[in-house]
Amino acid sequence: MGIQHYKNTPSIELTDSFPVAVPISDNVSVINEVCHTDEKGVESGVWECSPGKWRRQIKQQEFCHFISGRCTFIPDEGEPMEINAGDAIMFPANSTGVWDIHETVRKSFILL
């Protein structure tokens, strides 16, 4: 198992770019990221998303720490969560809902 070091996460260059899979607003968010998947299938990296509204598609458990930006996560079951830079969240596996990105967000993450 190798150590993954994401140095200077607020300004690290994000190498992959693609639109969100299931947009639900006219403004289609774009995701930029750099990530690594280890030999056990654990994925980690730094992720950034531009403003827009879309459905969360990740089925794995996810821990993330928000580095910058502002958004709301509206779970299919439960109360909306206002998220700001400095917040950390643990999503249980199969957490579904809607992301509403108010200003570009950047986070570090690990999918288990």
**Angle made by CA atoms 102, 52, 105, in degrees to the nearest 5:** 50
Q: What is the mean pLDDT of residues 74-86?
A: 96
Task: Read off the pLDDT of residues 6-23 as tens digits, 9 standing for 90 and up.
Answer: 999 999 999 999 999 999
C-alpha–C-alpha distance, residues 24 and 101, integer Å = 12
Q: How many helices (H) and strands (E) does the chain have?
A: 0, 8
Give the contacts of 37 (CB within 8 A, at least 6 positions apart): 43
Residue 1 pLDDT greater than 70, yes or no: no
Spans of all domains in the chain:
38-111
Residue 58 pLDDT greater than 80, yes or no: yes
Class of the CATH domain delimited by 38-111: mainly beta
Residue given tokens 């770019």 in the structure block: 17
Going by pLDDT thresholds of 50, 70 and 90, the confidence category of residue 57 is: confident
C-alpha–C-alpha distance, residues 80 and 85, integer Å = 17
Per-residue exposure over 32-58, b if at least 16 CB sit within 10 Å of its own CB, e if not? bbbbeeeeeeeebbbbbbbbbbbebee
Looking at 5-68, list the stretches that DSSP marks H as alpha helix, in order from N- to C-terminal side: none
